[in-house]
Chains A and B, each alone.
Chain A
Amino acid sequence: MGKTLYQKVWDAHKVGTLSDGRTQLFIGTHLIHEVTSPQAFGMLRDLGLKVKYPSRTFATIDHIVPTINQDVPADPLAADMIDAIRKNCDDFGVTYFDLKSGKQGVVHVVGPEQGITQPGSTIACGDSHTATHGAFGAIAFGIGTTQVRDVLATQTMAMESLKVRKIEVNGKLRPGVYAKDVTLHIIRMLGAKGGIGYAYEYSGTTLDHFSMEERMTVCNMAIEGGARCGYVNPDETTFEFLKNRPYSPTGDDWEQSIKEWKSFATDPDAEFDDIIRIDAEDIEPTVTWGISPDHGISIGESIPDPAAADPDEKAVIEEALAYMKLPAGTPIKGIPIDVAFIGSCTNGRLSDFREAAKLLKGHKVAEGVKAIAVPGSQITAIQCEKEGIAKIFQDAGFEWRAAGCSMCLAMNPDKLVGDQICASSSNRNFKGRQGSPIGRTILMSPVMVAAAAVEGCIADARETFKVTENSAA
């Protein structure tokens, strides 16, 4: 019987079995950032330990970096965190993509951009959206700070093996439907806890035809569906993306690596613990209405009514609507917004801005809406500026910012105020997520955020931008 990519990567990286039965798993690539690493370095110092393989850890700063004047930390606490990661990387010999490197950005954008993220590898980072790297056929886990310590000290961590669920999406997406809609649709279908205990293998012809950036968007939100990691099997699209990246193999090693990477792909006769099949044509532009990423509906649907819900769901809907202050049973389309945010590790990549700019051109942000576009990395920012994308956003009335996590989690100055509603291309709509304890988040694709910004309310981008079956490429 064949094996899944998950099993092959796991087996290749298994160091041994620990006394409690867990696997000691080798982590080939460790990514760190300023929020979850300082305590781990503190623990290393307390234990008198070194970083085992400094060349396998890569650092950048993203969560707390201001997106206006990146160089000026918002407050002394933020300054302390930046000083700490600089010093830690210096003391322990870790590669650090600092603000001045021209390579800084959201850690999950930087890794792939640099060619650090490679097929068949294990990747860990003290951030739950590490699953993003699975787009390359890597097994990538979000971990806690004590585990960051473990990986720094030993390049390994204790892990329990996961089951594998194949999520097959087949067919062509309708015009105006994007990778973000696919991932929101899956989470809606399987629930925020549906993936607990699973790794998700995303496959099918829809995924086959996706670009690497689209695959990253899908894998990024595996954790929102409860899955610890998600991945796509590596193929020519993967190799094409990685070719000539700074950390990609070169020369003879390149051909050898491709051979090896291909060997990690799931075998045709591999068995899965579960299989889900989705028809791409059934996926509509999807938005959230509540306080959990599985509170999703298509743009044509109405906000759920607790009165019509089953008793199990009733309390959840009531709590969500009380927080969101949204009217039960009315269409989500037309709900006014205050803020529009395009960015984050989910949707802050070049293709996200390209696609939104293509449609946004010639339109204006509605009066009273604060719209910000935040590239995921300094490299993305420069490319968008070169291609005229930044200018399209600015002409439309968006603020074009510098790279960082920005309003996805608001550990930097970009925050909602009061109970503002934000149309957001990020990944979480939890209570208070965007910085105001009563702020409200509606998740959607970047193009849908652009449409909401233009209309001043939740809108169907296909109508706003007159996207028809014929106009789509």
Chain B
Amino acid sequence: MAIAPITQISGTAVPIPGADIDTDRIIPARFMKCVTFDGLGEYAFYDVRFDPESGEKTDHPLNDERFNSASILVAGINFGCGSSREHAPQSLTKYGFSAIIAESFAEIFYGNSTTLGLPCVTSTRENIDILKAACAADPTLKVSIDLDAMTVTAGDLSFPVDMPASARQALLAGKYDPIKELLDNNDKIEATASSLSYVR
């Protein structure tokens, strides 16, 4: 169960408009009728990528061919709010995203993403807006996230980003999927279980 550390993420980025992008928006519930996560990528942001009435592609940035190879998503405040569905970050990784830069994240989404090795870093609205504008102006702009230095660089642009210390530590150490460590503490788990009257 060894997993590789994640320190640097580089690629082109696509700006996603709007605040409070909820997980129903990221992956509408009807696409969760599945028993595996395979194939969820094609449904990411489905209802904003396709006009619900005509079925035609909308002017959403994910439909803009210039962003076809983008692997970093740039978003606003409270990204991933709402449902706890892991289907949301699963659909984003399967769509081809390997990191998200936003003003802030909802907690469950953030935790789910980290566990999948999808780093979520935050910065100020000002920095995010500048980055969004730069990516919109030049979709080929290479954006790099350095989790060691906690910076984002893109051309001449460079700014600091944040991430809770535990998530950063887990990603840098390649321990973002905690299962091995959880299993290793079996004795302590059993001790806790026997100390709880409703579990014993």
Contact = CB atoms under 8 A, between A and B. Distances in A.
B35 A39 contact: yes
Interface stretch (B67-75, B102-110, B134-142, B154-162): B102-110
Nearest to A118: B198
Contact of A21 (B30, B83, B115, B165): B165
Contact of A144 (B78, B111, B183, B189): B111
A238 interface: no
B6 to A, nearest CB: 13
A126 interface: yes
A34 B177 CA distance: 23
Contacts of B63: none
Given A155-B189, A157-B178, 20 more contacts: A12-B196, A20-B178, A24-B182, A28-B198, A36-B84, A64-B33, A127-B84, A128-B84, A144-B89, A144-B115, A147-B111, A150-B179, A156-B189, A157-B182, A158-B181, A158-B182, A192-B81, A410-B30, A435-B29, A437-B28
B191 to A, nearest CB: 8
B196 A13 contact: yes
Interface string B76-98: 01100111111101000000000
A20 B32 contact: no
A77 B107 contact: no
B84 A20 contact: no
A22 B166 contact: yes
B129 interface: no
B196 A28 contact: yes
B178 A150 contact: yes
A47 interface: yes
Given A28-B196, A428-B82, A431-B24, A38 B36 contact: yes
B56 to A, nearest CB: 13
A431 to B, nearest CB: 6
22 contacts: A12-B195, A14-B192, A18-B166, A18-B175, A18-B178, A24-B178, A81-B33, A120-B198, A146-B86, A146-B177, A153-B182, A154-B186, A157-B182, A160-B111, A193-B106, A196-B106, A228-B108, A409-B83, A410-B29, A411-B29, A428-B22, A433-B29
A144 B86 contact: yes
Nearest to A409: B29
Please give me the 6 A-B residue pairs with the lowest Cβ-Cβ distance, nearest first. A437-B52, A144-B112, A144-B86, A38-B35, A142-B84, A77-B33
Nearest to A41: B35
A77 B178 contact: no
Report the contact-size class of chain B (Cβ under 8 Å from the partner). Answer: 35 or more
B15 to A, nearest CB: 15
Interface in A158-208: 158, 160, 192-193, 196-197
Given A15-B185, A19-B175, A432-B25, A146 B192 contact: no
A42 B90 CA distance: 15
Nearest to A127: B84
A22 B82 CA distance: 23
B199 interface: yes
Interface string A268-289: 0000000000000000000000
Contacts of A192: 20, 78, 81
A143 interface: yes
Nearest to A405: B29
B33 to A, nearest CB: 4
Contacts of B47: 431-432, 437
Contacts of B86: 36, 39, 126, 144-146
Given A18-B178, A52-B189, A126-B84, A78 B112 contact: no
Contacts of A432: 24-25, 28, 47, 52
A438 B20 contact: no
Contact of A26 (B25, B34, B108, B196): B196
Contacts of B60: none
A15 B183 CA distance: 12
A52 B28 CA distance: 33
B24 A433 contact: yes
A158 B22 CA distance: 24
Contacts of B82: 128, 223, 428, 430
Given A142-B84, A226-B81, A153 B28 contact: no
B85 A144 contact: yes
**Most chain B CB atoms below 10 A, which of A13, A15, A149:** A15
